[in-house]
Structure 1
Amino acid sequence: MTSSVPWQERLSAGTEAVQDEVIRWYQKTPEGQAYVPTMIWGTLQTEAYATVILGQVVDFLGVPDDVRAGVAKRLQRQQVLYDGEHHYDVVFGEQALYTNIGGPEVMREQMDRILRDIDLPSLTLGIIPATARVDMPPVHAFNLHGDEAHVELVSSGPNVTEPSELDLYRKAFSRLSDAALYGEAAEELLQKARTFWGGARRG
């Protein structure tokens, strides 16, 4: 079964309420998986990066502007990385390190944040190099928590609970993980991106 409510409806009162939903979702599921091909996973975003992202959401969808409150909740959700009770397997596309969110200063700070947290016991982070061969077609971002997959689309964020569909998402995550680099190799990609943003000009 797949259920979906349009983003404009879900965010009709602003971003804070949806962030509260995500906090509850994370707190009740101690283990999760996430594939994020073109941006930084929300649970690793800095305050500056999250502010730009939620500002773009508000502007694009035309929903009430409560960005400061939404960002505060997004940062609150990140406590699952430090409470000793959760673990997340996360795979980025290398493009996520280069998608310009907020300019060089924001991106440098974001790379530093990931480099600081990459060795957390609660996190297994892989990065798929831009030129890596992946044994499946390109797909959208998604999160797996328990018996549910959350999919990030332009107009909505469907939740998938049909077992046969969930099996496909798990299969997809396994193949994406197989193409990713971990440990020192992932850190090298992050350092490369950090160097790039360190030399980039504002603009």
Structure 2
Amino acid sequence: MTSVVPWQQRLSTGTESIQGEVVRWYQETRNSKAYVPTMIWGTIQTEAYATVILRRVVDFLGIPDDVPAGVAKRMERQRVLYEGEHHYDVVLGEQALYTNVGGREVMVGQMERLLRDIDLPSLSLGILPATAEVDVVPMPGFNMYDGVRVHYELVSTAVDVTDPGELALHDKAFAALSNAACHGEAARGLISKALAFWNGD
């Protein structure tokens, strides 16, 4: 089964309510996977980075402006990283380290956050190099929750997939992406390289 809900409908009262919904998803999920090719995964965004992202959402969609409240909820969601009951396998595209969100200062802070969080027991963070060969066709980013739901965020809608056959294909795709990604010290090296870029080194 696939459900599609337009963003203007889901965000009709602003960003806080949907962020609260996402907090509940993460609190209820024990094992999550995320592939995010061009931006930083929301659960490891800095407050400054998240503020820029939600400001762009509000301005682009023309929804009620409650950015501070939405950001506060996104920061609340990050508690799951420290509770010890959850585990997240995350693959970021290398481009995510270079997509300019808020300028140099914001990006430096975000790279420093990634380097600080990469060793969290709850997080397995991989970076997919721009030149990596992957055994799957290019695709948009997605989140998987306990293997029972896949969530996409598209330009105009949010899409949720729950069909078992489709879930199995997403699991297979994530495995291919993760296998091609750099982990551990290799991932740290790519993040450090991006930090040097944003520092102007």
TM-score normalised over the length of structure 1: 0.97
Q: Does 1:103 align with 2:87?
A: no
Separation in structure 1 between the aligned mates of residue 154 and residue 162 of structure 2, nearest angstrom: 17
* Paired residues for 1:149-168 under 5 Å: 149-168=150-169
Separation in structure 1 between the aligned mates of residue 82 and residue 4 of structure 2, nearest angstrom: 31
Question: Structure 1 stretches of 5 or more lacking a match?
Answer: none
Q: Please report how far the alpha carbon of residue 4 of structure 1 lies from its aligned counterpart in structure 2 after TM superposition.
A: 1.3
1:65 counterpart residue number:
65
Separation in structure 1 between the aligned mates of residue 167 and residue 184 of structure 2, nearest angstrom: 28
1:93 counterpart residue number:
93
The CA RMSD over aligned residues, in Å, is 0.7
Separation in structure 2 between the aligned mates of residue 30 and residue 136 of structure 1, nearest angstrom: 26
2:118 counterpart residue number:
118
Which letter maps to 2:55?
G
2:82 counterpart residue number:
82
2:45 counterpart residue number:
45
Secondary structure at the aligned position of 1:38 is classed as coil
Which letter maps to 2:150?
A
Post-superposition CA distance 1:100-146 (Å, at most 9, x none):
00000000000000100100000000001011111111100100002
Deviates more, 1:155-164 or 1:96-105: 155-164
1:175 counterpart residue number:
176
Question: Structure 2 stretches of 5 or more lacking a match?
Answer: none
Equivalent residue pairs, number: 200
1:199 counterpart residue number:
200
Post-superposition CA distance 1:65-106 (Å, at most 9, x none):
100000000000000000111110000000000000000000
Which letter maps to 1:78?
Q
Q: Segments of 4+ in structure 1 off by > 3 A?
A: none
